[in-house]
Amino acid sequence: MRTTTWVLAALVVASAGALAADTSPDGAGRTASHAVESSSRWTLRYTGHGYDRDAPLWLVPAVGGGASLFVRKGPAPGWGMLRWDGNSWKRARLPAQVAKSWWLEVGGSPSGETIWAAVGVSDKYGDQTEHLWRFSGGRWTHRLSRNAQWTGVIDIAVDSRDNAWFVTEFDPDGAPSDVLRWSGNAWHHHRPPADFDLIKVAAAGPEDVWVLSRGERVRMQHWNGVSWKDVRYPCASQPCRGRAYLQQLALAVRPDGHAWAVGPHWADGGSPVVLHWDRTRWEQVDMDVVRTGLTAVRVDPVGGLWIAAAPASGPPYVLNLRDGRWTRSTLREGGRITDIAPVPGTTRLWVQTRRQDPTGPPYGKETALVYELS
């Protein structure tokens, strides 16, 4: 199983035509690049030195306004879990399979009630078995073991306490990507067309699920509770903001069914592309942000739309669209924002960053930091 971090991002024009549910008349016509600098405060909550550049760090929300961190410094196998209790980080117990594994894929519910973890365990012959674990009510429960030599879970979407979706890798030698669903008491297979190489899943509920597949062009499939439908989007037929095609897109879905697809997450010199699904069709969203990577996006019914941005030059920042008004919170300390997690039902945000260790060589070890934005 490989761990693939697919970040989500979106920049949306605050107009009634683009995001009716998020905007008000006083926000019409204003774009994210005109956001007012926020008075919110950055509070450093976690610092970890000596991380390999490719060593992942998972951040998911937790009940009570906290967060859960899954850390692996590598290169040896082994994971740790930390939970913020409002004052400090406390080490939490992990199942042995999780604590000793090389690779880990994690997904958490928006409420923070539930966490899912997919781990791969190899035997002495190199054959790999994947185990899916569920954390809820303060304890871990093993839910599934499966042969995953070449088809490990690469993304997880948890839309509620009892509903979770998993997409698996594509094996070019014959095993297609698959979509697994846990419905609270049973497993279900919802496999899309066999030629799909799935990379991402996002879900608003059991009848509203999106998956993305890669290839020469990204394809989008939507699950309506009965069947999959191949849904066209603007960039599939013509260039978007000068890009002839999009090899990668990230996806976020709001509980009411509105969705955003964006790319790329690196500031590659071009303009980022943003698509918005209004529950009827995909449309390209107008914006005036250039030379900026969009590294993460999350939504919360109270906190609104949160976006992490990484400009080609200058410090990273977080954009927030709430009640029709854009605000911008700049992290002056620099680094790169790699993930964000709204505190459920609030206007607070957890922010995960990585930066080069100042005393190390270029492209050497990194420092991981977690901030609370409030």
pLDDT digits (tens, 9 = 90+) for 286-304: 767 778 888 888 888 888 8
More confident site: 175 or 198: 198
Provide mean pLDDT across the span 69-84.
85
Tell whether the model's pLDDT for residue 42 goes beyond 80. Answer: yes
The pLDDT score that the predictor gives to residue 13 is 30
User: What percent of the chain lies above the pLDDT cut of 90?
Assistant: 39
The pLDDT score that the predictor gives to residue 259 is 87
Q: Which two tokens stand for residue 224?
A: 């309506």
Provide mean pLDDT across the span 183-193.
90
The pLDDT score that the predictor gives to residue 33 is 59
In our burial notation (b when 16+ CB lie closer than 10 A, e otherwise), range 211-225 reads bbbbeeebbbbbbee
Asked whether the CA dihedral 240, 245, 250, 255 is positive or negative, the reply is positive
DSSP state of 271: -
Tell whether the model's pLDDT for residue 48 goes beyond 60. Answer: yes
73 pLDDT tier (thresholds 50, 70, 90) = low
Please state, in angstroms and rounded to a whole number, the distance separating the CA atoms of residues 371 and 109.
20
**Secondary structure E strands in 161-291:** 163-168, 179-182, 187-189, 198-205, 208-213, 219-223, 228-231, 250-253, 259-263, 273-277, 282-284
In our burial notation (b when 16+ CB lie closer than 10 A, e otherwise), range 230-245 reads eeebebbeeebeebee
Please state, in angstroms and rounded to a whole number, the distance separating the CA atoms of residues 343 and 111.
8
User: Of 18-22, 48-52, 313-317, which has the strongest mean pLDDT?
Assistant: 313-317
Domains for the chain: give ranges and CATH numbers. 25-373 (2.130.10.10)
The pLDDT score that the predictor gives to residue 12 is 33
Long-range contacts of 138-147 (CB under 8 A, 24+ apart): 140/93, 140/94, 140/95, 140/98, 142/95, 142/97, 143/182, 143/187, 144/180, 144/187
Residue 342: exposure state from Cβ atoms within 10 A (0-12, 13-18, ≥19): buried
pLDDT, tens digit, 9 for 90 and up, residues 256-276: 898 887 777 787 767 777 788
Please state, in angstroms and rounded to a whole number, the distance separating the CA atoms of residues 5 and 54.
10
Write down the pTM of the prediction. 0.86
Tell whether the model's pLDDT for residue 28 goes beyond 50. Answer: no
User: What percent of the chain lies above the pLDDT cut of 70?
Assistant: 85
Residue 180: exposure state from Cβ atoms within 10 A (0-12, 13-18, ≥19): buried
Please state, in angstroms and rounded to a whole number, the distance separating the CA atoms of residues 352 and 135.
22
218 pLDDT tier (thresholds 50, 70, 90) = confident
27 in Cβ contact with 13 (< 8 Å) = no
Residue 296: name the closest of 358, 354, 364 by CA. 354
274 in Cβ contact with 12 (< 8 Å) = yes
Alpha helix ranges (H) inside 320-367? none
The pLDDT score that the predictor gives to residue 334 is 87
Q: Which two tokens stand for residue 83?
A: 């939970």
46 in Cβ contact with 339 (< 8 Å) = no
Phi-psi region of 28 (alpha: psi -120 to 50; beta: other; left: phi over 0): beta
Helix (H/G/I), strand (E/B), else coil: 54: coil
Provide mean pLDDT across the span 60-69.
91
Q: Which two tokens stand for residue 70?
A: 């899954």
The pLDDT score that the predictor gives to residue 14 is 31
Q: Which of 14-18, 53-57, 300-304 has the lowest mean pLDDT?
A: 14-18
Q: Which two tokens stand for residue 62?
A: 């937790």
Tell whether the model's pLDDT for residue 341 goes beyond 90. Answer: yes
The pLDDT score that the predictor gives to residue 10 is 35
Residue 116: name the closest of 148, 91, 143 by CA. 143
Q: Which of 114-118, 192-196, 325-329 has the lowest mean pLDDT?
A: 192-196
The pLDDT score that the predictor gives to residue 351 is 96
